[in-house]
Structure 1
Amino acid sequence: MNNKEQNDNIQQTAHQSSDDSAIEPRDNPDRPGRQFYIPSQIVSEFAHKGRDHLKKPFPGQLVLALTAGAFMTFGAAFSILLAIGIEAKGLYYLLSGFGFAAGYAMVFISGSVLFTEVNVLLPTYLFHSTGFMQRNILKFWGSAYIGNILGALFVAIIIKLSGSLSTSFYSELSVYIDHKMKFLDKGFTGWIQIVLSGILANWLIGMAAFLTTAARDITGKILGTLLPVVLFVAGNFQHSAANMGYFSMGILSNSEYQWYEFLFLNLLPASIGNIIGGGILVSLLFSYAYKDDIQSAVDNY
């Protein structure tokens, strides 16, 4: 047996052991098996996914980034459609969150490459690998970001050309965009506030990825996605990938804002905050907390 076959067997055995530990009762034979991954297994899965995304050929990376951006616009559109005409704020936020969660569920379950999810998966892999500085990291990050924007804009164009949505939809869209661009009048202070809001947003989306990875069935994955998404939507926390969905439609609907205001005065500071929220407050903290539990598995990558 050659070295490659031995390594494959080691990884398969480790993964099977991980799965078995997640479902087999310990000590007490009457205790039911768990139907979710424990935190150390989740962090290990993050590292595996980050590695797999990084090693995927560039055309595949770009296609998955485009689909993720497309799903963001679908989620943004659904969040508006569900909330049109709702006066009660609590119900309004709940339905908006439900709508946007559909986009994130499609991203998580399809394995699409979303910039803000990459901010969690890729750092987790890098924190536990010896080859930290790799030339293709920035290329991958950049392709995810640009691909998300292009995918979001592509769906927005089709929606606009289709004429499927009513004028009430675009009126509600303007309200959403005004809410997200309210920081504009505060100058540099508002820019910093968007960074801080972006930290909160991707902290929550990082936990959505955490809960979704923990679940071992479709229902659990959808519920794991739903809860943090409803919270970040209700809090108006600035999530760059979500805003790409709203802004791509706003550019095509006679919005009072210009494309460069969307890009430099919202998406840029939000993206900086998203990197901090996902890379440090989720990836780094959990990687450190469970480093002893997962290091042996990562050594076999």
Structure 2
Amino acid sequence: MSYVNPSEFAVKMVDAGEAKVFLSTRDTIIRAYMAGAILALAAAFAVTVTVRTGEPLLGALLFPVGFCLLYLMGFDLLTGVFTLVPLALIDKRRGVTVKSMLRNWSWVFLGNFLGAFTVAVMMAVIVTYGFSVDPDEVGRQLGEIGHSRTVGYAEHGAAGMLTLFIRGVLCNWMVSTGVVGAMMSTSLPGKVLAMWMPVMVFFYMGFEHSIVNMFLFPSGLMLGGDFSIGDYLVWNEIPTVIGNLVGGLTFVGLTIYITHARTAADRRPVSHDETAEVDVAAPAEIESVKTV
């Protein structure tokens, strides 16, 4: 499926990070908004499938459809720019600074939130007939997810916070692998397959994705979930964002960059013949220097 080797897609990763830094504010927000909205729709779809079939694996199997679509259309998630943009800074691309990187992250965060929140409101309207009746089964499940993944962590104190952070790390390890997966092939089927697998893993395992949560928790609050905005921020969104940053950059961005874009010298031994050639050449070089 037109496989691209690691040394080539490592350069593509840095190029992509550089391009995102210099993208206009307007385009950054639009692309982030659409990414947040499409991912939120995919999450709503997966929850609906899980509730109606009683099979979480089926929901996880279908969720990546949204992820694949948004990346094929060139939209941006915060989890992706966390991984790609710092590489352009580390590679010392001209004009890329810490300030420009943080600017990109901030606009993408805002756009993702607005897109996810828009879908959250729409779904709340759908499952309550415009807030005129109690939430249906899907709506009740959305409210329960918000409760269990905020108050549920808080009940365990520091251990719950650690668990939340690690789930955020593992999430973006998988999601960013999907982002890079799109660069591993030049064919559409190859891109989709490489993105689909790790994203399915993250969703089924219940890892914490900051953008998916921008949909799940606001919709849960609107649908009667037993938790507060403070619970959402302290016991989910903020630790998840930090975990997503650490996971994507550490386990995907930096590892690929260091070993494929900035590969260290290999340890291949010098053969006896090569050593002899160097020894023979040395006196001649010395005599040449004396002559000069």
How high is the TM-score relative to the length of structure 1? 0.79
Give the structure 2 partner of residue 213 of structure 1. 183
Q: Which letter maps to 2:109?
A: Y
Give the structure 2 partner of residue 172 of structure 1. 141
Aligned residues: 256
Q: Which letter maps to 1:208?
A: G
Shift of 1:162: 4.3
Contact 1:72 1:244 in 2 (8 A): no
Shift of 1:241: 1.5
- 1:79-137 per-residue CA deviation (whole Å, 9 max, x = no partner) reads 111112434xxxx2322213321221122111112100111111222221255534322
CA distance in 1, matches of 2:47, 2:103: 33
Shift of 1:72: 2.0
Give the structure 1 partner of residue 271 of structure 2. none
RMSD of Structure 2 on Structure 1 (CA): 2.0
Give the structure 1 partner of residue 13 of structure 2. 46
Give the structure 2 partner of residue 242 of structure 1. 212
Contact 1:96 1:230 in 2 (8 A): no
Bigger Rg, structure 1 or 2: 2
Give the structure 1 partner of residue 100 of structure 2. 136
CA distance in 2, matches of 1:229, 1:245: 17
Give the structure 1 partner of residue 287 of structure 2. none
Give the structure 1 partner of residue 61 of structure 2. 98
Shift of 1:179: 4.3
Q: % of aligned pairs identical?
A: 23
Give the structure 2 partner of residue 151 of structure 1. 115
Give the structure 2 partner of residue 127 of structure 1. 90
Give the structure 1 partner of residue 44 of structure 2. 77
Alignment of 1:186-205 (within 5 A): 186-205=156-175
SS of residue matched to 2:63: helix
Q: Which letter maps to 2:40?
A: T
CA distance in 2, matches of 1:249, 1:43: 38
Give the structure 2 partner of residue 273 of structure 1. 243
Contact 2:127 2:139 in 1 (8 A): no
Structure 2's unaligned 5+ residue stretches are 130-134, 264-292
Q: Which letter maps to 2:44?
A: A
Q: Which letter maps to 2:27?
A: G
CA distance in 1, matches of 2:98, 2:232: 31
Give the structure 2 partner of residue 109 of structure 1. 72
Shift of 1:289: 0.1
Contact 1:180 1:238 in 2 (8 A): no
Give the structure 1 partner of residue 192 of structure 2. 222
Give the structure 2 partner of residue 6 of structure 1. none
How high is the TM-score relative to the length of structure 2? 0.81
SS of residue matched to 1:113: coil
Structure 1's unaligned 5+ residue stretches are 1-33, 294-301
1:171–1:258 CA distance, 2 compared to 1 (3 A): same
Contact 1:153 1:248 in 2 (8 A): yes
